[in-house]
């Protein structure tokens, strides 16, 4: 459609008016955004925007641009119009031929070049103003400047002053009583030697047993003042216009003040922390002494050591408790003594360095006797002192005629027979024979060496009885010459063939075949897959008093005895001694390892009903299936629900109702239990949470702070290890290798 000059000018006029309306909106949106950031009220922002639109509508006047003003603006900004735009407003009947020609020319120029002209407007200025308002509002919200301004308007309260707020703002009438004086007096226990402490700060941090006294005074008479602490309430005593209350510190917790004025309006204060410091026991450390010390009989038997004792409020006494044990078995006797240090103990000192030297001879100890002692320290706490003790230290005088001392973890029972200790006597006799070799004839020397070999054989056979290896036939034959003569003749015949044959592992025992693994037994064991898991009492290897590890040690000891006996029979006791020592060491290890007997209780099945046995009736037999889902109890459920509810209150701008106050009170109880361990960390959150249960109007910023404090109180979640399925292929592996190469 061909556009006329009038249509062109009307189009430009509408464009001009639209830009003016946009400018009006920009001017009104900036303050509206600022109001929203300050108060988070959408309705307020809309009202501010409408008011500003009306004001700017009157000031800017978007209806003002008309066709005459538009033509004049185009004449000023478009040179090709030749100041002839006004011709477009006139009808063609009133124009001359030249004027019609000029009107046509101007209309053509406007169609081509009118887009290069912009209507006059201040959109850039409006955008800048709107952006500035938005930035200012965001910064004020981010840094909470409104809260600071509100706090600045309120009268400043001195630090540490108790602030009371009404529990029910609706019932509040008249003027609130003013607090004129507050004081907390802490009297530490006398043994700490710390002077009394006075402060206006109501948070308590003192030693256990301290005496706490609160003193507060109001400018007017009130009905009652109480101190509430951990679910209990105590009324304060009124005397000389001052309310006082005294209590003994025995646990950590929280407390607050509450009073009622003459108009029955109840006021409560913030929560204050009570942190009790426990009086720790003395620290005892023994320096320069091993926990176990052994002495030879001819040594200088003295224990010298240094003891360091420390305490925070002074040491009352330090001494040594020593116990001497004599004898063994049922004839053991104990004697306990209380020893003092060589250095004087100064009562009340906080750090002591004490010296002590214990002479075992002066304590009338003999070879085989054992000494147990520890250090015990007491502090000056009243009425009952804290007691600390060091570790127990041991000292023993070695006895050459008994087994060496070994410290056991439990009170053991010696199950080994007395003849298990005869290996040491064999060693003593062998060493004696070696020393007397030069004084004896060859025949006497060989005879005694052979006799020792026989004693070693008897001892080995007695050990073998516990392994099930040896029968008692050899011992019986030795005691009955009639039975043993034939065996001796048989041995002589064998001696002619091989003089060492009777001393080797092969023929020395009639029951020696038990020591040899037979192929038949191996084949039977292979055929029975449960053989290695069963305990067969018919097998002499299994029917012993010992576990598998002890049997292996006993087997090693028997092997050492074999070799010791062999060299004794060969009249070379020097070569026999190393084997005897190794056998003795193994015997002692077996003895110390087998000192505890554990009674095993097996399964006791119910009696079998003979009338129903083997009947094959299964009518009363039913399947049993039990399905149970085990879940750990939720930790701090009220705190978690409170966090979710606070999120709804913050986003939805809802008001706190009675159900919310009940939930917040439960969350406060859970937080108080956790805060007992660290009162200072959760005190502020607990105070603000308590305010939500008493007041209806709580600032949004306070709710945000409470939510953050509750988040900090929740324990950290433990990560569960989860196996992830990763789809891998040859191409992916090649790609990963290339990435590792070029990494």
Instruction: Check which CATH number belongs to the domain holding 318 and give it.
Output: 2.60.40
| Domain contains 186 | yes
| Cα 147 to the center of its chain, rounded Å | 39
**Can you give the pLDDT at residue 374?**
93
Neighbours of 590 (CB within 10 A): 21
Question: Side-chain half-sphere of 387: how many Cα atoms within 13 Å?
Answer: 8
Judgement on whether residues 288 and 272 belong to the same structural domain of the protein: no
Judgement on whether residues 212 and 293 belong to the same structural domain of the protein: no
Judgement on whether residues 99 and 213 belong to the same structural domain of the protein: no
In 291-369, where does DSSP find H-type helix? Answer: none
| Domain contains 153 | no
Number of domains in the chain: 5
Q: Which residue has the tokens 């449960």?
A: 530
pTM, full prediction: 0.47
Last residue of one domain, picked from the residues 277, 307, 337: 277
14-38 confidence digits (pLDDT tens): 888 888 899 999 999 989 998 888 8
Containing domain of residue 709, as a range?
637-713
Dig out the tokens for 615 from the structure.
């009947």
Last residue of one domain, picked from the residues 111, 142, 173: 142
Judgement on whether residues 222 and 353 belong to the same structural domain of the protein: no
Judgement on whether residues 16 and 125 belong to the same structural domain of the protein: yes
Dig out the tokens for 106 from the structure.
């101007």
CA 673, CA 74: separation in Å to the nearest integer?
80
Judgement on whether residues 259 and 307 belong to the same structural domain of the protein: no
| Domain contains 147 | no
| Domain contains 414 | no
Judgement on whether residues 174 and 222 belong to the same structural domain of the protein: yes
Judgement on whether residues 365 and 294 belong to the same structural domain of the protein: yes
In 61-115, where does DSSP find H-type helix? Answer: 67-77, 97-113
End-to-end CA distance of the chain: 68
CB 583 within 8 A of CB 423: yes
Q: Which positions of the chain have pLDDT values less than 50?
A: 1, 402-421, 470-538, 540-546, 596-601
Judgement on whether residues 330 and 351 belong to the same structural domain of the protein: yes
Last residue of one domain, picked from the residues 260, 277, 294: 277
Helices and strands (DSSP H and E) totals, the chain: 18, 21
CATH number at residue 262: 2.60.40.10
| Domain contains 741 | no
Neighbours of 207 (CB within 10 A): 19
| Domain contains 404 | no
Total count of residues recorded for the chain: 743
Judgement on whether residues 290 and 273 belong to the same structural domain of the protein: no
288-318 confidence digits (pLDDT tens): 888 888 888 888 889 999 999 999 889 999 9
CA 690, CA 664: separation in Å to the nearest integer?
8
Judgement on whether residues 506 and 470 belong to the same structural domain of the protein: yes
| Domain contains 363 | yes
Judgement on whether residues 186 and 288 belong to the same structural domain of the protein: no
| Domain contains 259 | yes
């Amino acid at each position: 459609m061909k556009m006329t000059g009038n249509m062109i000018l009307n189009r430009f006029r509408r464009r001009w008016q639209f830009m003016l309306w946009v400018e009006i909106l920009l001017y009104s949106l900036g303050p509206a955004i600022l109001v929203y950031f300050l108060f988070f009220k959408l309705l307020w922002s809309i009202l501010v925007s409408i008011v500003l639109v009306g004001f700017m509508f009157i000031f800017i006047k978007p209806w003002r641009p008309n066709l005459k003003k538009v033509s004049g603006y185009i004449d000023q900004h478009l040179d090709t119009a030749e100041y002839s735009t006004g011709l477009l407003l006139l009808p063609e009947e009133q124009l001359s031929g030249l004027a019609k020609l000029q009107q046509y020319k101007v209309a053509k120029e406007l169609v081509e070049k009118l887009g290069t002209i912009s209507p006059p407007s201040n959109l850039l200025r409006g955008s800048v103003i709107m952006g500035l308002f938005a930035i200012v509002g965001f910064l004020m919200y981010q840094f909470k400047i409104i809260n600071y301004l509100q706090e600045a308007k309120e009268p400043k309260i001195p630090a540490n002053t108790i602030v009371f707020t009404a529990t029910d703002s609706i019932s509040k009438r008249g003027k609130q009583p003013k607090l004129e004086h507050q004081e907390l007096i802490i009297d530490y226990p006398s043994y700490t030697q710390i002077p009394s402490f006075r402060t206006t700060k109501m948070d308590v941090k003192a030693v256990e047993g301290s005496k706490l006294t609160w003193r507060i005074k109001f400018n007017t008479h009130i009905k009652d003042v109480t101190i509430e602490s951990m679910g209990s309430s105590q009324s304060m005593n009124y005397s000389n216009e001052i309310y006082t209350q005294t209590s003994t510190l025995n646990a950590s917790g929280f407390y607050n003040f509450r009073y009622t004025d003459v108009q029955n309006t109840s006021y409560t204060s913030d929560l204050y922390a009570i942190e009790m410091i426990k009086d720790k026991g003395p620290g005892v450390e023994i320096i320069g002494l091993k926990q176990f010390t052994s002495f030879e009989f001819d040594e200088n038997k003295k224990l010298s050591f240094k003891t360091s004792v420390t305490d925070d409020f002074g040491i009352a006494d330090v001494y040594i408790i020593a116990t001497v044990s004599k004898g063994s078995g049922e004839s053991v006797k104990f004697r306990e003594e209380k020893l003092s240090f060589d250095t004087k103990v100064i009562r009340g000192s906080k750090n002591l360095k004490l010296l002590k030297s214990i002479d075992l001879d002066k304590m009338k100890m003999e070879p085989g006797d054992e000494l147990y002692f520890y250090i015990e320290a007491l502090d000056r706490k009243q009425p009952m002192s804290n007691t600390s003790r060091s570790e127990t230290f041991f000292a023993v005088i070695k006895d050459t005629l008994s087994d060496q001392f070994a410290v056991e973890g439990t009170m053991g029972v010696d199950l080994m027979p007395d003849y298990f200790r005869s290996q040491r006597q064999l060693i003593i006799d062998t060493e004696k024979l070696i020393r007397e070799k030069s004084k004896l004839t060859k025949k006497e020397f060989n005879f005694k060496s052979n006799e020792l070999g026989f004693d070693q054989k008897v001892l080995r056979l007695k050990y073998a009885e516990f392994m099930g290896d040896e029968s008692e036939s050899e011992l019986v034959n030795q005691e009955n010459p009639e039975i043993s003569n034939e065996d001796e003749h048989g041995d002589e015949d064998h001696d002619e063939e091989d003089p060492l044959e009777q001393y080797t592992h092969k023929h020395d025992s009639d029951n020696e075949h038990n020591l040899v693994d037979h192929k038949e037994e191996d084949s039977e064991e292979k055929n029975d897959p449960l053989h290695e898991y069963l305990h067969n009492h018919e097998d002499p290897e299994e029917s012993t008093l010992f576990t598998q590890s002890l049997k292996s040690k006993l087997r090693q000891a028997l092997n050492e005895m074999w070799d010791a006996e062999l060299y004794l029979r060969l009249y070379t006791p020097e070569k026999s001694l190393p084997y005897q020592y190794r056998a003795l060491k193994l015997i002692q290890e077996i003895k110390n390892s087998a000192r505890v007997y554990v009674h095993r209780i097996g399964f006791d099945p119910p009696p079998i009903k003979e009338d129903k046995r083997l009947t094959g009736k299964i009518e009363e037999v039913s399947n049993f299936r039990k399905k149970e889902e085990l879940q750990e109890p939720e930790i701090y459920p009220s705190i978690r629900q409170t966090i979710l509810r606070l999120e709804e209150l913050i986003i939805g701008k809802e008001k706190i109702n009675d159900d919310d106050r009940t939930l917040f009170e439960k969350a406060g109880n859970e937080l108080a239990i956790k805060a007992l361990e660290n009162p200072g960390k959760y005190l502020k959150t607990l105070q603000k949470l308590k305010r939500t249960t008493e007041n209806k109007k709580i600032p949004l910023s306070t709710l945000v702070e409470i939510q953050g404090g509750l988040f900090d109180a929740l324990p950290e979640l433990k990560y569960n290890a989860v196996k992830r399925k990763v789809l891998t292929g040859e191409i992916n592996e090649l790609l990963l290798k290339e990435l590792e190469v070029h990494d």
